[in-house]
Structure 1
Amino acid sequence: MKKYNILLLCFIAFGLYACNKLTLTTPAFDVTVNKTTFKVGDSVVFVLSGNPDNIGFYSGEVGHIYDYKNRTSVTGALNQLSFSTATANLAAGNTGQTGNLKLLVSSNFTGQVDSLHIRQATWTDVTNRATIATNATATSSGTVNLSDFQQAGDSLYVAFKYLSNTSSTAARARQYTVSAFVFQNTFPDGTIYVHNTINTDVRFAGFAATSFKGTSVKDSLKWAIGSTLAFAQGVDNLSDEDWAITKKFRLSAIPPDVAVGIKNNQVVLPQYVYKYTKPGTYTVTFVGNNVTGDGISAVTKTLTITVTP
């Protein structure tokens, strides 16, 4: 019986512990520092009291400012586009066509990629801002600055328009390939927002293409969208007008600032040491939280640190 009572007490104690852990509580959490002025490269020792499940650290530097954690838009960016092109070399005796590929932008396109909505939009030809290939060697466009289109609004679409006259063996419409497409916003503080996706995926997944009938009254070739944009060499006696258009870019888009996670519920952290590499006044924020199935309870602690040269 005595053994049974001991086991029963153990089960009760375990149950009370488990219930207590499932109850969401506000963390007891505080942060102190022995002084508030440091030199560049000094070790700033933040003393942490209490033991919240998780702690996030906002240093106050660019990209890690607590007040900007929900910010997604800021005016005054430098909006820049870059890409590469290549075109097929011509057979001997073939004069080819010039100017088949055009770069255009629109601030009032609806995003519906069909002939009606493309024609209704206002498109500005900015081909002369880019370098377009004249042979089969991949050629960088250089940096295409589109910041002046902020005056027309926050939205911008970019289009590659392929236009050819009736093609023939003597005047062949060129084949073109577009690759390495990057559109980004760069802000005065150095923050960069890259609109399209990472280098390793299909970066043209946000494009849509449509084809118009040419003067031959026959729809011939179309843009092929994949890891590149590709338009095949012209077909004899056929003409083409074909568009490949991006998703909408927001010229003010900026990534929200983020915290650095310095603690989870598997460790106890009595202090955190950080070094600043540039002088300035920094608003430092620590966010400690407890997490259960009922949700999250957080406590925020803010300090001001001055860093001198």
Structure 2
Amino acid sequence: MKKIFIYFLAVGFLLETSCDDSLEITAAHDFDIVIEKSTYAVDEEITFQLSGEPGIITFYSGEIGCDYEYRNGRIVPPGEATLSFNNRVIYGTQPNQFSVLASTDYSGLRNIDAIKSAKWIDITDRFTLATTDAYVPAGVADLADVVAEGMPLYIAFRFIQDPATNAAPRTWNINNLALTSITTIGATLLANHLTGGFELFYVGPKETSGRSSVASGSITLRANSNWSSVPAYTEDWCVSKGFDFGAKDLGPDRPVKVKGNSDAKTETFTYSYTKPGTYKAYFVATNATIKEQETIIKEVTIEIIP
């Protein structure tokens, strides 16, 4: 028993000595960075000269998603909402067949009763509608007054075939649609006519085979093929999925690893920017043990020109 006690005492002493040695933190305060100049061109390689003996080095470029100022989280406030598309019209003479609508009141249920019971805002007059069979840009419409915080926005194209007009129906095509959110982090394309979840719903005895469609080339809205021999009032609704234009929690911005504890000493780091602007770049150097940590932060302002 005496020998066993002495053995464990010796092992304990060795472990304690080893731990004590590992707790002697190496200073990080001697870390520094140097660059040749403060102005660089887009895609030009920047070489940062690194000095000191930090165990861990990370880099924040100052770009969106890698910005030190947002290391604890980034909340993007609501921005602008815009809608644009190209359109054309062929055949017929029936007036006021085509309209563009928006709603934050729609429940999202994918049936015509839910669609018809929602409150839709007519935004047709915000666009330039075609008068010939050549595609024309409808323009870019601001939807800021339509968007409601916490409510999804739905877009609909409605096509009415009304025999009471005594006029031949027309055919409308929509392509190059862009529903865009413009916030403090830039413009984001939320949907085109294929990714917007557009689906067709009908009022009245509507033919569906070979008529209105959502296809790769365009959204097509057209009347029944037998409209002249079997006149009937119909509506075609092409309705998108819902889009959230409210504030977004993007979580914390993340740095780029330059050096880890187990890596050899790093004396240079290279980086290039893809967009012009003025960036505040940060290097965070850290030495740490299980009991203590020392961190030093170095900041440099870099101008990127086209």
TM-score, normalised to structure 1's length?
0.65
SS of structure 1 residue aligned to 2:220: strand
TM-score, normalised to structure 2's length?
0.65
Gaps of 5+ in 1: 1-27, 91-95, 289-299
Q: 2:152 pairs with 147, 152, 155, which one?
A: 155
Matches of 2:238 and 2:179, distance apart in 1: 15
In terms of Rg, which structure is larger? 2
Aligned: 1:241 with 2:235: yes
C-alpha contact (below 8 Å) 2:59/2:281 kept by paired residues: no
In structure 2, what is the equivalent of residue 104 of structure 1?
Answer: 101
Task: Using the TM superposition, give the Cα deviation of residue 173 of structure 1 relative to its aligned residue in structure 2, in angstroms.
Answer: 1.0
How many residues get paired?
251
Letter in 1 for 2:39: V
Aligned: 1:47 with 2:50: yes
SS of structure 2 residue aligned to 1:150: coil
Aligned: 1:206 with 2:197: yes
C-alpha contact (below 8 Å) 1:38/1:44 kept by paired residues: no
> Percent of counterpart pairs with the same letter?
20
Q: 2:83 pairs with 81, 84, 97, which one?
A: 81
Q: Name the CA shift for 1:99/1:71 in 2 (closer, same or farther; >3 Å).
A: farther
Aligned: 1:64 with 2:58: no
Question: Per-residue CA shift, 1:78-134, capped at 9, x if unaligned?
Answer: 1111111111144xxxxx111211100001212112122112211100000011112
Aligned: 1:192 with 2:190: no
Q: Name the CA shift for 1:184/1:131 in 2 (closer, same or farther; >3 Å).
A: same
SS of structure 2 residue aligned to 1:249: coil
C-alpha contact (below 8 Å) 2:67/2:253 kept by paired residues: yes
Q: Name the CA shift for 1:130/1:68 in 2 (closer, same or farther; >3 Å).
A: farther
Matches of 1:87 and 1:308, distance apart in 2: 49
Gaps of 5+ in 2: 1-25, 287-294
SS of structure 1 residue aligned to 2:77: coil
Aligned: 1:220 with 2:218: no
Q: Name the CA shift for 1:130/1:38 in 2 (closer, same or farther; >3 Å).
A: same
Letter in 2 for 1:212: V
Aligned: 1:171 with 2:173: no
Matches of 2:297 and 2:200, distance apart in 1: 50
In structure 2, what is the equivalent of residue 304 of structure 1?
Answer: 299
SS of structure 2 residue aligned to 1:34: strand
SS of structure 1 residue aligned to 2:95: coil
Letter in 2 for 1:223: S
Task: Using the TM superposition, give the Cα deviation of residue 232 of structure 1 relative to its aligned residue in structure 2, in angstroms.
Answer: 2.4
C-alpha contact (below 8 Å) 1:283/1:302 kept by paired residues: no
C-alpha contact (below 8 Å) 1:133/1:139 kept by paired residues: yes
SS of structure 2 residue aligned to 1:119: helix
SS of structure 2 residue aligned to 1:108: coil
Question: Per-residue CA shift, 1:238-281, capped at 9, x if unaligned?
Answer: 3221111111111136695876867799x98642234675446x
Letter in 1 for 2:33: N
Matches of 1:33 and 1:210, distance apart in 2: 64
Alignment of 1:277-296 (within 5 A): 277-279=276-278, 282=280, 284=282
Question: Per-residue CA shift, 1:185-228, capped at 9, x if unaligned?
Answer: 112x451221126xxxx725611221111xxxx23356311212
C-alpha contact (below 8 Å) 2:40/2:303 kept by paired residues: no
SS of structure 2 residue aligned to 1:143: strand
